[in-house]
């Protein structure tokens, strides 16, 4: 990647680091329990860090599209969890919103480029 990292990538890395290092505030923001080790949030944090690291390395349109698909799959699993587990519904749906937001942030530059080129 040339130049500065994009805002979306920096935000993704910050969210990932927060989830790995300090998951309790994130759990509270998502509406989940604030006690415990939060292993699921830590795993999701590692996923965000890996995704952000790959975006730092690969900046092609194809990389953005793949990243958006991964975020879409993440959002889909969040919705499935919300349906399957009423006690986790609020946290799952809030996490789905985050995943969709990151996915849209991946795609917007691609759409903007196509709009200018077309």
At 25-55, the pLDDT tens digits run 999 998 888 888 999 999 999 999 999 999 9
Among 65-69, 86-90, 93-97, 114-118, name the one with the lowest average pLDDT. 114-118
The total of structural domains in the chain comes to 1
Domain membership of residue 36 (yes or no) is yes
Domain membership of residue 58 (yes or no) is yes
Domain membership of residue 2 (yes or no) is no
Q: Would you mind telling me the total number of residues written for the chain in this entry? A: 118
Domain membership of residue 12 (yes or no) is yes
Domain membership of residue 107 (yes or no) is yes
Domain holding 52, by residue range, is 7-117
How far apart, in whole angstroms, are the C-alpha atoms of residue 29 and residue 26? 5
Report angle CA 93, 29, 5 to the nearest 5 degrees.
Answer: 90
pLDDT surpassing 50 at residue 2: no
**Burial class for 91, CB neighbours closer than 10 Å (0-12, 13-18, 19+):** buried
Domain membership of residue 20 (yes or no) is yes
Angstrom distances, CA of residue 102 to CA of 34, 37, 46, 117, 118: 24, 25, 15, 24, 25
DSSP one-letter string for 56-115: HH--SHHHHHHHHHHHHHHHHHHHHHHHH-GGGHHHHHHHHHHHHHHHHHHHHHHHHHHH
Domain membership of residue 62 (yes or no) is yes
pTM of the model: 0.84
Domain membership of residue 1 (yes or no) is no
């Amino acid at each position: 990647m040339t130049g500065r990292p994009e805002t979306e990538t920096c935000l993704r890395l910050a969210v990932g680091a927060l989830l790995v290092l300090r998951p309790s505030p994130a759990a509270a923001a998502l509406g989940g329990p604030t006690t415990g080790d939060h292993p699921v949030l830590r795993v999701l944090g590692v996923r965000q860090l890996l995704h952000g690291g790959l975006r730092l390395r690969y900046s092609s349109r194809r990389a953005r599209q793949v990243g958006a698909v991964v975020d879409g799959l993440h959002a889909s699993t969040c919705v499935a969890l919300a349906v399957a587990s009423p006690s986790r519904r609020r946290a799952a749906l809030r996490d789905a919103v985050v995943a969709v937001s990151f996915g849209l942030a991946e795609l917007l530059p691609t759409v903007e480029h196509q709009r200018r080129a077309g």
